[in-house]
Amino acid sequence: MPAYASGGWAPVGGIGKQLAQYVERGHRAVKMRVGLQDTSVDDSAARVREVRDTLGPELGIMVDAHGTWGVRDALRFARKVEAYDLAWFEEPVSADNIQGLAEVRRATDIPVATGENAQTRFEFRDLIAAGAVDVLQPDVAIAGGLTECQRIAALAAAHELRVAPHLWGSAILFAAGLHLCVATPCATIVEFTRGENPLLHELVEEPFTLKDGYVLAPEQPGLGLTLRRDFVRSIARD
């Protein structure tokens, strides 16, 4: 699966360089944070402009606002960055505000992504029915497991929407989401955290390595992982 680098917290003057470092590690798409951490909507837009100017026109850029804006500011931001060809706008408003997500989606052609905290096919059904989402982001550990996520993916496929699971967690979650994606035609990309994350990189024997921007699914039975007992012991409480 193609894997996008998920990170991007640096301010104006540093954000282009930060995301260029992810590209140097092989990613062909990157996700940056916007919204609350920035001083204004203009500041967020300036950071996006810097990233597009630094990376050039070919690379995918996603933004994640973590629900920090209201509809009005989300739309002001969307208008200011419309020229930069964003792959998606994640949680532009609170993920609980389904009507607000739908308002944003109606008013911009930047795809809206949401769902990392949504549970079961029924919540995703409601998001789809409200016209609130283009990219469904179930977290296998929150949405209800692999089977439930396959049902969610079937809903997405029937509405010509995409699935890009939320994979910010341990190696176990990452492997589960990766397996879901390789079995799901409407899943086009996986999230690869670029934050500090020992639970992703030290918990299991098998490293998740990136090759030409792609990460390969394990081929062993089950999730295909071997727990590192010594690491588990090192982080376990008495």
**Residues annotated catalytic, as ranges:** 66, 166
Q: For Mg ion, give the closer residue by CB, 114 or 225.
A: 114
The nearer residue to Mg ion, 64 or 103, going by C-beta atoms, is: 64
CA dist 84 → 24, 53, 103, 165, 221 (Å):
21, 9, 21, 24, 42
Instruction: Compute the least distance from the CB of residue 137 to Mg ion, in Å.
Output: 7
8 vs 144, which CB is nearer to Mg ion? 8
Pairwise CA distance, residues 158 & 124, whole Å: 13
Residues 142-201 binding Mg ion (CB under 5 A) are none
- The least distance separating Mg ion from the CB of residue 157, rounded to whole angstroms, comes to 22
**Straight-line distance from the first to the last Cα atom of the chain, in angstroms, rounded to the nearest whole number:** 39
Stretch that binds Mg ion, among 1-9, 35-43, 63-71, 214-222 (CB under 5 A): 63-71
Helix 71-80 and helix 98-107, axial crossing angle in degrees, nearest 10: 30
| Residue where the block lists tokens 């990613």 | 27
Please, what is the minimum distance in Å from the beta carbon of residue 168 to Mg ion? 7
Nearest alpha-carbon partner for 7 in 40, 38, 29: 29
Sign of CA dihedral 139, 153, 128, 137: positive
Count residues contacting Mg ion (CB under 5 A)? 1
Question: Whole-number minimum distance, CB 195 to Mg ion, in Å?
Answer: 12
Check binding of 64 to Mg ion (CB under 5 A).
yes
Q: Which residues bind Mg ion (CB under 5 A)?
A: 64
